[in-house]
Amino acid sequence: FRRGDQNGDGAQNIADAVLALEQLFVSGAAECLDAADVNDDGLFNIADPIFLLGYLFASGPTPPTPFSACGVDPTVDGLGCAQFSLCP
């Protein structure tokens, strides 16, 4: 997966933050929780789209790996990723 690429289009941008907010407050479902956990704290919550927006627009810290390329989550947590079509 790629951290922060919530919509799986190969880029991390405002569309990913908007989708994360929709998943948190409207639909309640995310296909890849590891990608949704932008700050890598082991949770998917409001802090994740805020972290991504901070990175994108306020010179915030870069999200933890895997961010710039596909990879596995180096942090042991209860989140998983059922599928992420852009990564083999």
Quick: pLDDT tens for 49-59. Answer: 999 999 999 99
10-18 long-range contacts (CB < 8 A, ≥24 apart) are 10/86, 12/52, 12/55, 12/56, 12/63, 12/67, 13/56, 14/53, 14/56, 16/49, 16/52, 17/49, 17/52, 17/53, 17/56, 18/49
In whole angstroms, give the CA distance from residue 14 to residue 88: 25
pLDDT over 90 (residue 80): no
- At residue 18, the pLDDT reads 97
pTM, entire model: 0.92
pLDDT digits (tens, 9 = 90+) for 9-56: 999 999 999 999 999 999 877 889 999 999 999 999 999 999 999 999
pLDDT over 80 (residue 82): no
- At residue 6, the pLDDT reads 93
